[in-house]
Chains A and B, each alone.
Chain A
């Protein structure tokens, strides 16, 4: 049982890490808490559903299509709504709430109330020592999540775009003086965050069911993670994701579901009170 709990914790941690990555990036670059993260997750899942189950594309082609389409959607939202108001933190926050409600409400109208499912192409069961089992689809989703996270690290740490984003994050005005178009860089950052959310939706929805509110629970988890990790701190959120994965797994298995839920939020309050910069913060 211990082995099984550890495996479940690792899988949940990887999933949470992927779900939280987009949220962390958008806060890190734009200092905006994106409450619409869950609907972008949902839209990614829906897009994958329609591409695979309705149109009939292979699963990974559908995921690739998500990667191609969602940067445009993200950039459009940034240009249309968020750009003009991002200097007022509350307006930015509430605008994302507005987008969330609008898109979820429309989602119920457009996609209907019936729950849907996306099937993952790889199936099977892997038996591990210690009596633990790991479904192949969860293993692959976890591995792809880690690969995507590595990609994000490379993009932010090693490329010209990443340098722009980091410069804008540190000081938008100074970045502009250095010849970076801060508006455009932020649009790119937002588009990247939205794409990561949608990609997480496309991947994680294969494990669960898809409906227009399927992004709410993942978003809640993502919020706990980015607060624990320190808002905007990518490494912190990766560590926090695995901590939460283990809390949910061990807490849920040993104490029951509600206890795990309570512990997550309790940790958030403690962190916010005593170390608002998060577990990895250097305050």
Chain B
């Protein structure tokens, strides 16, 4: 066998390629080799930070972030004599279901045992993994028993479910307004479809099924609702339920409905849109009288702790907090307290403690409900957070508590 210069070159090249490709794959294992001494508890913030739902994502992430800082500043939590600090790791899921699964996989890979996420559409595909890896999850999701049930032990709902918003408060509001012809015009996503199901069920229970004259689903990034509004306004409704719109979508929907001569009322029971953009885009006159849930008027905050939270959020981010920011803040505080009380990192022990733990948080007493609760059919498990639920109405561009 003759060894030529060329073949030596070939061998060197080959070895180089082998080393390079192995190195590239292994590089993540090499980074961050030296670990700090403080033990870390990681919570994955699996939220949209870009795209149409980014404002929800930031709001949720900031709420949890503030809570993480609060616990850490107080010295972290002690489990069996050892101090643990919380660490929040972010992953941008762009409000795309598969990206959220990818994010969860990344988070698990990075050692996260806890997670906060939002949106029924992006949470649903994560459920098999959450159950398999026992990730204790606090999630801002609407829907009802299809998320919160005895099979999903590790998934806790931070916002009031559609069974609390639409089925209870919603029906009360419809009765009070004397709605005769109701139209549901909501987002074409999991949240919208699940709201529709709950609404139809609640109407049936209350023997009001005949008031629903039309239901339409439109993509969440729709700009021009005129064609679809023309379609539903032909049925002469006196009330439009928006369900799950963020601020811009709801504002455009209302504005264009008014432009088409619609005189009736609006509710948006599960979206909790930001009031500022809603009024600016929709126009003060058009959005007058819109009824929404979960929004606290800044001048009618119930407790001092909540006022402090509001002020701190404003100071840091130069805007009012959104509903899911304080809901996830409170849920995280509850979760952290439960971990400390359980004196264990075993997810099963933690969730067992969580279900019975009551703490005092921003809005007063915070606890989990769902088991044996006639209002929450089919839940069968204490995985639904509950706290006072404000009903607000827009008056002169400002939210006030609706009586």
Contacts and interface: CB of A to CB of B under 8 A. Distances in A.
B50 interface: yes
Contacts of A251: 227
Contacts of B223: 207-209, 214, 217
B356 interface: no
B248 A115 contact: yes
B111 interface: no
Given A1-B234, A114-B55, A257 B277 contact: no
A103 to B, nearest CB: 14
B268 to A, nearest CB: 15
Given A113-B54, A208-B223, A254 B231 contact: yes
Given A256-B216, A257-B219, A114 B231 contact: no
A252 B227 contact: yes
A133 B277 contact: no
Given A113-B58, A133-B260, A260 B227 contact: yes
A209 B251 contact: yes
Contact-residue size bin, chain B (C-beta under 8 Å from the other chain)? 35 or more
Nearest to B221: A217
A116 B248 CA distance: 8
Contact of B281 (A117, A249, A258): A117
A144 to B, nearest CB: 18
Contacts of A209: 223, 248, 251-252, 277, 281
A211 interface: yes
Contacts of B218: 257
Contacts, number: 91
A210 B142 CA distance: 27
**Closest CB pairs A-B (n = 4):** A252-B227, A117-B281, A115-B248, A209-B248
Interface stretch (A4-12, A33-41, A89-97, A170-178): A4-12
B51 interface: yes
A254 B234 CA distance: 11
Contacts of B58: 113
B96 to A, nearest CB: 14
Interface in B37-76: 50-52, 54-55, 58
Contacts of A1: 230, 234
Nearest to A11: B226
Interface string B213-227: 000111101111011
Nearest to B57: A113
A253 interface: yes
B234 to A, nearest CB: 5
B298 interface: no
Nearest to B277: A115
A253 B252 contact: no
A119 B284 CA distance: 12
B301 interface: no
Interface of A: 1, 4-5, 8, 11-12, 108, 113-117, 119, 125, 133, 135, 138, 207-209, 211, 213-214, 216-217, 248-254, 256-258, 260
B227 A257 contact: yes
B247 interface: yes
B133 interface: no
A80 B291 CA distance: 51
Contacts of B52: 213
Given A108-B50, A116-B277, A12 B224 contact: yes
Interface of B: 50-52, 54-55, 58, 188, 216-219, 221-224, 226-228, 230-231, 234, 247-248, 251-252, 259-261, 274, 276-277, 280-281, 283, 319
A217 B60 CA distance: 27
A114 B230 contact: no
Contacts of A256: 216, 228, 231
B227 to A, nearest CB: 3
Contacts of B280: 116-117
Given A115-B247, A117-B280, A257-B218, A8 B261 contact: no
B216 A5 contact: no
Given A117-B281, A133-B260, A211-B248, A8 B227 contact: yes
Given A108-B50, A114-B277, A133-B261, A252 B228 contact: yes
A130 to B, nearest CB: 13
A208 B259 contact: no
Contacts of A125: 259, 261
A266 to B, nearest CB: 17
B314 to A, nearest CB: 14
B43 to A, nearest CB: 22
Contact of B230 (A5, A119, A258): A5
A113 B277 contact: no
Count chain A CB atoms within 10 A of each CB in B217, B226, B276 and give the residue with the most.
Answer: B226
Given A8-B226, A209-B251, A257-B219, A113 B231 contact: no
Given A208-B252, A253-B230, A114 B319 contact: yes
6 contacts: A1-B230, A117-B251, A133-B261, A208-B223, A248-B227, A258-B188
A4 B247 contact: no
Given A115-B281, A207-B224, 11 more contacts: A4-B260, A5-B230, A113-B58, A114-B277, A115-B248, A248-B227, A249-B226, A250-B227, A256-B231, A257-B217, A258-B219
A116 B226 CA distance: 20
A238 to B, nearest CB: 20
A214 B281 CA distance: 13
Contacts of B221: 216-217
Nearest to B218: A257
A213 B54 CA distance: 12
Contacts of B247: 115
Given A115-B248, A213-B51, A253 B276 contact: no
